[in-house]
A and B are shown apart, each in its own frame.
Chain A
Amino acid sequence: MGEINYGLTEEQLEIRAMLDEFGKERIVPVRAELDEKGIFPSALLKELAQMDMMGLYIDEAYGGMGVGHLGFCIAVETLSKYCIGVSVSYAANALGADPIIIGGSEEQKKKYLSPLASGEKWAAFGLTEPNAGSDAGGIATTAVKKGDKYILNGTKQWITNGGEADTYTILAVTNKAKGARGVSCFIVEKGMPGFSFGKKEDKLGIRASATRELIFQDCEVPAENLIAKEGMGFLLAMKTFDISRPGIAAQGVGLAQGALDMAVDYARVRHQFGKPIIANQGLQWMLADMAMKVETARAITYVACNTIDGGEKDVSKISAMCKCYAGDVAMSVTTDALQVLGGYGFMKEYPAEKMMRDAKILQIYEGTNQIQRDVIGAALIKEYASRAR
């Protein structure tokens, strides 16, 4: 069977092959238990570090592999075939590091990116609050400058890798009067005075991942940990999402591919009425639709990565498109895959129900899919206005 040609490099193909083996050997045997008990996959992340996979997205100058967004997203996609609770714990490191990569000083990059690249430390990104989700402008956490420190107060909510990560990029208001332009981004380290963690959330899906509150009570952060300048936080967050959203899309592609693989394998061996159920045209058409969705989601995700890797500055539209599309595809394909497995799919012995539970988050986090459509709509307005004469 001919492989669909995305023009991947030898290195990208190697990343895929290595993580496919990792997925089969290391993730599949433990994923049900990690899911059921909500165990953070520390051991798996440590092994990924030893495989040089933690620093894929980081430049070689800071100890990473510098394989670009496509290389990184292929890694996320491949891990996601086996468990997106694991893959989000992996990918959230990049999300936490992205503000430093985009706006950090040379000193900040050297100090904070190198240990992330080696996997010695883990990262997380903190924006969401009880009253600031889709409306990131509603951030209430404050940062007040006092001598050579900023004093942070407030609570972040639903932070992926919260409590597990060592390095946090946190958005806080430095000038309330300026609204979104008064938000700044800080690097906060676990163990800084006044920084603590709330309860670990009990979730529908991606249960292996850690989701916690971050609590800042007169938390002292050195002034040099401000990323870029005061007031740049909101812009940094938006630019971070522009490059991180293809990672979520890659999760959707991988998850949907894993569900499709499972459904086809099952349909080939499940016999009813004296023949394998895949011999039914109705079922073949269902699988064909699933396969088309997976492949188109992969194509748009890789295109988004190539656009970013190619140096294009304004990537909001394509990033939102791939995130939204692949997230919706994952929800639909995992739902249909469970349907193919019928009663077995509904049982916990099979991974179908987990895949379906896991898929839902892809339509919610890093901007709900409604917000993605807003981003695409806004980009269309801008694009067509600039064309108008």
Chain B
Amino acid sequence: MNIVVCIKQVPDSDKVTIDRETNRLNRAGVPSIINPFDENALEMALQLKDKHGGKITVISMGPPQAEEALRTALSHGADEAILISDRKFGGADTWATSYTITLALKKLADPVDLILFGKQAIDGDTAQVGPGVAHFFGVPMITYAKSCEVTENGFRVQQVTDHGYNVWDVEKPAALTVVKEANQLRMPSLKKKMAAKKAEIPVWGAEQLQPDETKIGLSGSPTKVNKVFAPPVKLNKEILSGEPADMVKELIYKLREKKVL
């Protein structure tokens, strides 16, 4: 079975601050990590490989330093890694990103059985690239997957909902986005980590992928970021004190006053 896991390198959000003057992220000196939900996608792939064998290819689109995230994925047990990187791809929105990643999937030597994504990235939080790739690649997509079993023709997938989960049977090839509840990424292995340091990671750019130049990068992106800002912090909060019964009475009174109740 051939599994592709698409991963994104993101700034470690625990360590990111926002510049209060410019409302931009202070990226300098912030360590980069694999998007946490993509770790769940990778672990799902590793567990499927443990059970059924096969090959795991990790793909990331980003600047040259995204190679680090791919090496990390190799040290956790992925077999091969490909970096999609080209200045021409810079500034791509989710639509152009999905288009570009799909070109890479089509270029892979072996036919793909399963494409896994994290449910969303912790920097952009759009949750659009997984479904976007499924659309361009022409395969069914199940979002919010918490488990995936191999069936005769494809996969049986549990999809998390607000109230429980749905069970879907899907034919392969298929694409899933994976939630945190699915699993926890295993620790890397020393042998694989040492090998990953030396691994050759091919870089696929516009030359290799031959894209329609009107569909890539900033100029090929139908959406533009208008403004990034930190939501204003409202400080007019009020903390009630006293006996619980009195506090509840006061709370109800205040909510009525504001016509919430």
Encode A133-149 as 1/0 by CB contact (under 8 A) with B.
Answer: 00000000000000000
- Of the 9-residue stretches A14-22, A154-162, A309-317, A369-377, which lies at the interface with chain B? A14-22
Give the size of the chain B interface in residues (CB under 8 angstroms).
10
Residue of A nearest to B185 (CB): A25
Q: What residue in chain A is nearest B187 (Cβ atoms)?
A: A51
Interface mask (B192-223 → A, CB under 8 Å = 1, otherwise 0): 11100100000000000000000000000000
Contact B191 A26 (CB under 8 A): no
Q: Chain A binding site: helix, strand, loop or mixed by DSSP? A: helix
> Is residue A166 within 8 Å, beta carbon to beta carbon, of the partner chain?
no
- Let me know if A18 and B194 touch, CB within 8 A: no
Q: Nearest chain-A residue to B188 (Cβ)? A: A18
B188 — which chain A residues lie within 8 A by C-beta? 18, 51
List B contacts of A53 (CB < 8 A): 190
A82 → B minimal CB distance (Å):
14
- Count how many pairs of residues, one from A and one from B, have CB atoms less than 8 Å apart in the complex: 33
B residues less than 8 Å from A26 (CB atoms): 187
**Is B186 touching A47 in the complex (CB atoms < 8 A)?**
yes
A131 close to B (CB within 8 Å): no
Closest chain-B Cβ to A288's Cβ sits at a distance in Å of 29
Within 8 A of B (CB), among A1-42: 10-11, 14-15, 18, 21-22, 25-26
Cβ of A50 under 8 Å from chain B: yes
Q: Which chain A residues lie closer than 8 Å to B187 at the CB level? A: 18, 21-22, 25-26, 47, 50-51
B191 contacts across to A, CB distance below 8 A = 52, 65
Report if B189 contacts A (CB, 8 A).
Answer: yes
Q: Verify A52–B189 contact, CB threshold 8 A.
A: yes
With both chains docked as a complex, state the minimum distance between the C-beta of A49 and any C-beta of chain B, in angstroms.
10
A11 touches B194 (CB 8 A): yes
Shortest Cβ distance from A52 into B: residue: B190
CB contacts (< 8 Å) of B197 on chain A: these are 10
Closest B residue to A11 by CB, please name it.
B194
User: Which residues from chain B contact A21 at a C-beta distance below 8 Å?
Assistant: 187
A1 to B186 Cα, complex, angstroms = 32
**Which residues of the other chain, B, contact A14 by a CB distance below 8 angstroms?**
190, 193-194
Query: Which residue of chain B lies nearest to A26 when distances are taken between CB atoms in the complex?
Result: B187
A26 to B194, alpha carbons, bound, how many Å? 22
**DSSP class of B's interface residues: helix, strand, loop or mixed?**
helix
Contacts of A51 in B (CB 8 A): 187-190
Q: How far apart are B173's CB and chain A's nearest CB, in angstroms?
A: 29
Closest CB in chain A relative to B90 CB, distance in Å: 31
| Nearest chain B residue, comparing its CB with the CB of A17 | B193
Cα separation A25 to B36 with both chains bound (whole Å): 14
Please measure, in the bound complex, the distance between the C-alpha atom of A47 and the C-alpha atom of B192, giving whole angstroms.
15
How far apart sit A21 and B189, CA to CA, in the bound complex (Å)?
12
CB under 8 Å from chain A, chain B span 159-178? none
B190→A15 contact, CB < 8 A: yes
- A55 to nearest B CB, angstroms? 10
Q: Which residues of A contact B192 (CB under 8 A)?
A: 52
Question: Interface 1/0s, chain A 344-385, versus B by CB < 8 A?
Answer: 000000000000000000000000000000000000000000
In the complex formed, the residue of A with least CB distance to B191 is A52
- 1/0 per residue, CB under 8 A from B, across A193-218: the answer is 00000000000000000000000000
B186 touches A65 (CB 8 A): no
**Could you tell me the distance in whole angstroms from the C-beta of B169 to the nearest C-beta in chain A?**
31
A297-353 at interface with B (beta carbon < 8 Å): none
Minimal beta-carbon separation of A75 from chain B (angstroms): 9
Alpha-carbon distance between A22 and B193 when the two chains are bound, in angstroms: 14
Tell me the complex Cα distance, A51–B197, Å. Answer: 16
Q: How far is it, in angstroms, between the C-alpha of A51 and the C-alpha of B194 when the chains are bound?
A: 12
Which residue of A10, A25, A50 is within 8 Å of B189 (Cβ)?
A50
- Chain B residues with CB under 8 Å of A50's CB are 186-187, 189
What's the least CB distance linking B178 to chain A, in Å? 20
Residue in chain A with minimal CB distance to B184: A25
A85 to chain B, nearest CB (A): 19
- CA of A56 to CA of B186, assembled, Å: 19
A56 and B189 alpha carbons, distance in the complex (Å): 12
A378→B191 CA distance, assembly (Å): 42
Q: Which residues of A contact B194 (CB under 8 A)?
A: 10-11, 14
User: Smallest Cβ distance from B237 to chain A, in angstroms?
Assistant: 26
Complex: A21 Cα to B188 Cα, angstroms: 10
Cα distance, A45 to B213, chains bound together (Å): 52
CA A210 to CA B100, docked complex, whole Å: 55
A-side contacts of B193, CB under 8 Å: 14, 18
Give the residue name and chain of the A residue nearest to B186 (CB).
A50
A25 to B187 CA separation, bound complex (whole angstroms): 10
Report the bound CA distance from A53 to B192 in whole Å. 12
Q: Which residue of B lies closest to A21 (CB)?
A: B187
User: In the complex, what residue of chain A is closest to B75 when comparing beta carbons?
Assistant: A18
Which A residues, 47 to 64, have Cβ-Cβ distances below 8 Å to chain B? Answer: 47, 50-53, 56
Does A18 contact B190, Cβ atoms closer than 8 Å? yes
Q: How far is the CB of B194 from chain A (nearest CB, A)?
A: 6
Sample of 30 A–B contacts (CB below 8 Å) = A10-B194, A10-B197, A11-B194, A14-B190, A14-B194, A15-B190, A18-B187, A18-B190, A18-B193, A21-B187, A22-B187, A25-B187, A26-B187, A47-B186, A47-B187, A50-B186, A50-B187, A50-B189, A51-B187, A51-B188, A51-B189, A51-B190, A52-B189, A52-B190, A52-B191, A52-B192, A53-B190, A56-B190, A65-B190, A65-B191
By Cβ-Cβ distance, the 6 closest A-B pairs, closest first, are A52-B190, A52-B189, A51-B187, A52-B191, A51-B189, A22-B187
**Apart from A18-B188, A51-B188, 14 more pairs, CB < 8 Å:** A10-B194, A10-B197, A11-B190, A15-B190, A18-B187, A18-B190, A21-B187, A47-B186, A50-B187, A51-B190, A52-B189, A52-B191, A56-B190, A65-B191
B residues with a Cβ closer than 8 A to A are 186-194, 197
Chain A residues at the B interface, C-beta cutoff of 8 Å: 10-11, 14-15, 18, 21-22, 25-26, 47, 50-53, 56, 65
